[in-house]
Structure 1
Amino acid sequence: MLSNKLIFCVSVSLAVLVVILLATLSPLPHRKPPSKPWLALSLYIQQPLTATVPNTHTVAPQDAGALIFHRVLTKGPKNTSRVIGKAQGFIIPVEQFAHSGFNIIYLTFDTHEYSGSVSVQAKNSGRGQKDELSVVGGTGSFAFVRGIAVLTQKDDRDTDLVVPYHIRLHLKYPNRSRTLPAS
């Protein structure tokens, strides 16, 4: 009986100690959320250098064709620009899936300034040289953001250069000064 009480007390004490250590030693995000409610970023999604890329797959029958992609996200337009993250997504470009909730692009950042991701809903994308997409959330430095993502690609058919997509993010952080009413 005494040993059971002793084991219980030691277990509770260790659990409390672990919680306190985790709370004090856990890493903090790279950057605090900005004090301004808006943030504007200009980035580039690099295209593969060849037409066939092992990390781009067409899934499903030809008439449905889903595009799953993984691209590098850079600070500048050149493929030698500083890498700041990655762009990954799942797009079903067929008309009956144009309004699908599955058409999402995830922009993941891993820099000293930003750590986290932004989720962009790609409804009605790919119809022209400029697409305005909805930012539907984020994590880390971008927790709960909303806004727009303007995706453009310069038409450069005269050259054989691979042109990256330019993405301008206009992000709005939630109002953190509001308090929730007590129930």
Structure 2
Amino acid sequence: MIARIIFCTAVLLAILSVILLAIFSPIPQENKSRNPSWVDLSLYIQQPLVPASNLSPEKTPKDVGALIFHRLLTEGPENTSRVVGKAQGFIIPIQEFANSAFNIIYLTFNNKEFSGSLSVEAKSLTNDNKEELNVVGGTGYFAFARGLAVFVQTEKEAINSDNLEATYHIKLQLKFPNKSKTVPG
């Protein structure tokens, strides 16, 4: 009889312990500083210096087949700013290929803060000084990123008046999927 009372008391204490732990346990918090759900970045694509004499209308092709580029990404507008990555792309600016899957700009980062790449869809280029394009994915730190990439062309006179330096200011607004959810399966 005493053994039965001790057993029932132990079971009752165990049940009570589980209930109390469930009620008073702290809720785990996500480490938001390590992987925020939104990231805003401001970067610059540096263009190579081109002498103004090379920009004459006679030398500018009227029908460009494809634009293939490889440029540096920097923190600031000066070409001496710290390099944080590179911008590469393959764009076909002909109307028939306006919605081509080839029209992608890749932004690759390799530094302490960010390591990975972003894919920016360049299907709806309007040849304006400001382009709003969609971020359609990424790798590394930017895995599964979605958002907006705003490209604004800035021009300034170089020290030498024969050169015109053009850069693009990129404002990235990225959203990441909620990593706290698990995929069933």
| TM-score, normalisation: structure 2 | 0.70
* Rg comparison, structure with higher value: 2
Residue in structure 2 matched with residue 19 of structure 1 by the alignment: none
Residue in structure 2 matched with residue 25 of structure 1 by the alignment: none
Kindly provide the amino acid, as one letter, of the partner of residue 173 in structure 1: F
Identify, as 1 or 2, the structure richer in strand.
Answer: 2
User: Matched residues, percent identical?
Assistant: 61
Q: How many residue pairs are counted as aligned between the two chains?
A: 143
> Structure 2 unaligned runs (5+)?
1-31, 52-61
User: 2: distance between equivalents of 1:176 and 1:47?
Assistant: 37
User: 1: distance between equivalents of 2:117 and 2:151?
Assistant: 17
> Structure 1 unaligned runs (5+)?
1-31, 52-61
Instruction: Select 1:167's aligned residue among 166, 170, 177.
Output: 170
Q: Given the alignment of the two structures, is residue 46 of structure 1 paired with residue 49 of structure 2, yes or no?
A: no
Kindly provide the amino acid, as one letter, of the partner of residue 37 in structure 1: S
Residue in structure 1 matched with residue 80 of structure 2 by the alignment: 80
Equivalent position SS for 2:124: coil
The 4+ residue runs of structure 1 with deviation greater than 4 A are none
User: 2: distance between equivalents of 1:166 and 1:43?
Assistant: 6
Residue in structure 1 matched with residue 111 of structure 2 by the alignment: 111
Q: Contact 1:37 / 1:174 at 8 angstroms: preserved in 2?
A: yes
Kindly provide the amino acid, as one letter, of the partner of residue 75 in structure 2: K
User: 2: distance between equivalents of 1:163 and 1:80?
Assistant: 14
Residue in structure 2 matched with residue 143 of structure 1 by the alignment: 143
User: 2: distance between equivalents of 1:63 and 1:49?
Assistant: 23
Residue in structure 1 matched with residue 54 of structure 2 by the alignment: none
Q: Contact 1:33 / 1:142 at 8 angstroms: preserved in 2?
A: no
CA, structure 1 residues 107+136, in 2 after alignment: closer, same or farther (shift >3 Å)? Answer: same
The two structures, once aligned, show a CA RMSD in angstroms of 2.6
User: 2: distance between equivalents of 1:82 and 1:38?
Assistant: 24
User: 2: distance between equivalents of 1:97 and 1:120?
Assistant: 16
Residue in structure 1 matched with residue 21 of structure 2 by the alignment: none
